[in-house]
Structure 1
Amino acid sequence: MIDRPQILPLPPVDRARQVTEALATYIDQASLKAGDRLPAERELMAALAVGRSTIREAIRHFQALGVMETRKGSGTYLLKPVSTATIHMPLSLDPTHLRDALLQTLEVRRGIEAEAGMVAARKRTAEDIANIEAKLNEMERVHIAKGSSGPEDLAFHLAIYEATHNPLFGQLLEQMREAFESFWHEPFNRSDFARRSFPFHRTLFNAIVAQDAEAARRETLKILDVVEEDIKEMSK
C-alpha cells in the first residue's frame, strides 16, 4: 500500500489583515483624501462583523505606517490616501530552514536597529526617555519573573524607534513585523533564547540617556551578537 501525503488543515484566517485590506479598499473606492474622517469603530464592527480589538489592531497598523491618526473624542482620520497595493510589502522567507531565516532577519535588524539607536541617542527628548524607561522597567519585571520577555522586548525597541522622530523607522518595522515575529517567537522551542542579551538593554538605554550615539550603536550590536551566537549554538 502506497503512503499518501496527509492533507493538512488550512491555517486560520488573519482577521486583522482582512480588515486592513477591507479598509484600504473602502478608502480607495470612496476616494477619501487626507483629512477625511473614517467611519466610527461601531460602524466598522457592524459592517465587517468583527470585534473591537480586531478593528483597533488594523487601525494601529495604519497608524504605524503613518497613514492614519486617531484624535481623542473625535475619531480616526486619514493622513494620506492608501489602497490595497500600498498597505503591505510582502516579505518572503523559507520557514523550513529556521536557522537561515533567523540569520537573514538578523542581518536586516543589525543595520536598522544600530542606526535607530544612534539617531535616538541624538534626538531623544525627556518624554522619549520616560517612555523608553517605562518599557524597559516592564521588560525587566517580566524577565525577572518569567526568565524571558517577548512583547515587552518588542515594546522597548519600538520606543527607541519612536525616539528617532523619523516615522520611517517605525514604518519599516511594521512592514517587517509579521515576517519577523513568525520566526522569533521562542525559536528552537527555547524560552532561554537570547537571555544573555538582557543586561545590554539597560546599557543601551543609558547610552541613549547620555546622548552617546556611538555607545548606543555598540550596545545594540552587543544584543544582536548574543542573538547570533544563540542561533548558531541552538541550531546545531
Structure 2
Amino acid sequence: MPESPLHTAGLNALPQQSRSRQIMDALVTWIDERGLKPGDRLPPERDLTAALKVGRSSLREAVSQLSALGVLEARIGSGTYLKRRVTPGTHYMPLTVTADGLAEALLMTLEVRRGIEIEASIAAARRRTADDIVRMEVALNEMESAHKTEGGSGKADFAYHMTIYDAAHNPLFRQLLEQMRDIVERFWEQPFDRPDFAARSFPFHRTLFNAIRDGDAEAAAAETRKILDVVEEDIRNMRP
C-alpha cells in the first residue's frame, strides 16, 4: 500500500508579503507542534504551497535555507525529510558536533556545558526569585522521585536543570542550551547503555539547589562542578 501523506492540518495561509523567512518560521513552528522526529517526511511541495498560499520558488528557497542549516534534507525523487529536531527558537543556528564516537562527542559537549552551567548557577544564586525557588524544588522533587523508582532520572533531570537556567534570568542561557539540545540530551539518554551513568552526581543536585536557594553563588558554582566532574569521570571510565 502507498504511504499515506502527512496531512497539512495546522499550517495556515501566510500574508501576501511573506516570503522566505516567514515560510521558514511557519514550517519550523509546524514541525515542532506536530512533534516530527528526524527521518519523518514533510508533506509534498504542492501541499505545502497550497496550505501556506505561497509560490514554489519561495517555498524552495526556504527549504534550501533550512537544508543549509542542517534542519531539512531534500532527496531527489523521494521528498523532503526532517534531518534534525528543531524548535522556533533554534532553527537559525542549530549546533552539532562531529566526533569519533560517542565518548568524544560527550567530552566536547561537556567542555561547553561547564562554562554555561557554572555561570548559570552563579547567576541563578544571585537573581532567583521566590517563584524560581518553588519551581526548582518541584522539579528537583520530581527528579529525585524518578531516580528512586526508575534508577535514573532522564527527562526529569533535564527539566530540573532548565529551572536553574530560567532562574538565572538571562534568556541567552536557555537559548544556548536549546541550540545544543540534540547533543546535550545524550547525557540524559543513558549513554553507553548504562543506567548508572552519572548516578554518583545525584546527591549534588540537592546541594546545588540549597546553594541557589540560599543565594550562595560560590557554593552553587562548586556544586555544579561536582556534578560535571562525575559526568566526565563516567564518560572516561565507561567508554568502550
Q: Which TM-score tier does this pair reach, normalised by the shorter chain? A: 0.5 to 0.7
Distance in 2 (alpha carbons) for counterparts of 1:212 and 1:28: 53
What one-letter code is carried by the residue in structure 1 that aligns with 2:203? P
1:137 is paired with a residue of what secondary structure? helix
- RMSD over aligned CA atoms reads 3.3
Contact (CA 8 Å) 1:148, 1:192: kept in 2 or not?
A: yes
Q: How does 1:195-206 map to 2 (within 5 A)?
A: 195-206=199-210
Distance verdict in 2 for CA 1:51–1:104, change over 3 Å: closer
Q: Is the 8 A contact 1:102 1:184 kept in 2?
A: no
Q: Evaluate the alpha carbon distance shift between residue 148 and residue 136 of structure 1 in structure 2; reply closer, same or farther with a 3 A threshold.
A: same
Q: Within the alignment, does 1:30 sit opposite 2:18 as a pair?
A: yes
Q: Does 1:93 align with 2:81?
A: no
Kindly tell me: are residues 109 and 209 of structure 1, through their superposed partners in 2, closer, same or farther at Cα, counting changes over 3 Å? same
What's 2:41 paired with?
none
What is the Cα deviation at residue 89 of structure 1? Answer: 1.6
Q: Which residue of 2 aligns with 1:207?
A: 211
TM-score relative to the length of structure 2: 0.64
Matched residue type, 1:143: H
SS at match of 1:211: coil
Q: CA deviation at 1:183?
A: 6.0
Give the aligned partner of residue 35 of structure 2.
Answer: 54
| Matched residues, number | 176
2:135 alignment partner, one of 131, 135, 142: 131
Corresponding residue of 2:46: none
Q: Aligned-pair distance for 1:147?
A: 1.0
Q: Counterpart of 2:75? A: none
Q: Is the 8 A contact 1:101 1:183 kept in 2?
A: no
Task: List alignment gaps of at least 5 residues for structure 1.
Answer: 1-14, 32-37, 56-82
Q: How far did residue 175 of structure 1 move? A: 0.6
CA–CA distance in structure 1, aligned partners of residues 185 and 135 of structure 2: 23
Against the structure 1 CA distance between its residues 231 and 210, is the aligned structure 2 distance closer, same or farther, given a 3 Å change threshold?
same
Paired AA for residue 30 in structure 1? S
For residues 32-74 of structure 1, give each alpha carbon's deviation from its aligned partner in whole angstroms, at most 9, with x where no partner exists: xxxxxx99xxxx9xxx6x896539xxxxxxxxxxxxxxxxxxx
State the Cα distance separating 1:178 from its structure 2 match.
Answer: 1.4
Change (3 A) 1:226 1:217: same
- Tell me how far apart the structure 2 counterparts of residues 91 and 27 of structure 1 sit (CA, whole Å): 31
Q: Is the 8 A contact 2:96 2:180 kept in 1?
A: no
Q: Against the structure 1 CA distance between its residues 226 and 182, is the aligned structure 2 distance closer, same or farther, given a 3 Å change threshold?
A: closer
Percent identity at matched positions?
A: 56
Q: Specify whether residues 109 and 30 from structure 1 end up closer, same or farther in structure 2 by C-alpha distance, changes over 3 A only.
A: same
| Counterparts of residues 37-116 of structure 1 (less than 5 Å) | 53-54=34-35, 87-94=91-98, 96-116=100-120
Instruction: Give how far 1:27 is off.
Output: 8.6
Contact (CA 8 Å) 2:118, 2:224: kept in 1 or not? yes
Once residues 158 and 97 of structure 1 are traced to their aligned partners in structure 2, the CA distance between those partners, rounded to angstroms, is 27
Q: Distance in 1 between matches of 2:133 and 2:204?
A: 17
Q: In 2, distance between residues paired with 1:163 and 1:28?
A: 40
1:120 aligns with 2:124: yes
For 2:175, give the aligned amino acid: Q
Does the CA contact (< 8 Å) of 2:125 and 2:220 recur in 1?
yes
Structure possessing the higher relative contact order (Cα contacts under 8 Å, 6 or more residues apart): 1
Residues 116 and 28 (structure 1), Cα distance of their counterparts in 2 relative to 1, 3 Å cut: farther
For 2:201 and 2:225, how far apart are their aligned partners in 1?
10
Give 4+ residue runs of structure 1 displaced > 6 Å after superposition.
none
Task: Normalising by structure 1, report the TM-score.
Answer: 0.65
Give the Cα–Cα distance (whole angstroms) in 2 for the partners of residues 161 and 27 of structure 1.
Answer: 36
